[in-house]
Amino acid sequence: VNEPQYKSITKNTQKIKQLIKIQTSQLLQNKNNSIEIYSTSDKLKSIIILINCRDKRYTKSIFSNKKTINLFSKIKKHFTFFQTLKILSHTIKTNNIYKNLIKKSDYILYELVVDEIHIGTNQANRLLTPILHKFDTERLTVALNTHRASNTHIYEHFGFRILNIQTHQTVKNYQMVRRPQIKQIRVVENNLK
C-alpha cells in the first residue's frame, strides 16, 4: 500500500501498459510530468491516480486537451466501476476556476475508486492514509474534484476542504483541496521521540 504499483511512467512506458491497458502519450510529452498509480493489491481492488502538476504551464494543457478525456475513456473500458468520465469531461471543458485551484497544488487526485465488491472493507482508508502521510511529510498540497455530495464527507475525513462549488447544467462539481497537516506530523514526530 505504501508504494505505488507504478511510478513515474516517463521512465518506462511498457510497465504502465502491462498494469493497465491505456496509452498516455499526451501526458508523457513533458518529461517533467509524471503519473503515480496506487493500489491496495496486485488485483487493483482499489486505485488512486495522482498526476504531478508542478509544471503549471503543462497543467493548463492537460485540462484543455481532449486526449485527456480519451485517456480516462480507456481506463473506463478496463475498470467498469469508473462512474465519473462524463463529469470529468464537463470539468475539463467548462471549469476555469479549477485551473486556478490546481495552480496552488502539487498534485491532482483524479480517481479514488473501490470496486463495488470490496466496498466496506476499508480499502479507501488503506489506500489514502499512506499517500496523505507522504504528502504531509513532504509538505505537499493535493486538489480534487468530485460531483457527488456524499463523497465530500469522506474526503473531509481525510483533511480535504471544499474550496468552491460549481453547477453546470444539472451537475454540481465540488472542488476540494488538502494542504499539509503540519500538526499531525508534529504529533507523530513527538510520539517517536
End-to-end CA distance of the chain: 25
Instruction: Enumerate the H helices of the chain as residue ranges.
Output: 13-19, 25-28, 56-64, 66-78, 85-94, 96-103, 123-137, 149-157, 182-192
Confidence band (pLDDT; 50, 70, 90) for 166?
A: confident
Highest mean pLDDT: which range of 53-67, 93-107, 111-125, 133-147 = 133-147
Q: Which residues are CB-contacts of 176 (< 8 A; sequence separation ≥ 6)?
A: 143, 144, 145, 146, 152, 155, 160, 161, 162, 163
| pLDDT of 70 above 90 | no
105-133 residue pLDDT tens: 677 776 666 666 777 888 778 888 888 88
Distances (CA, A) of 83 to 57, 71, 88, 116, 161: 29, 15, 10, 12, 22
pLDDT in tens, 39-61: 776 666 666 766 665 555 544 44
Domains located in the chain, CATH noted: 6-192 (3.40.630.30)
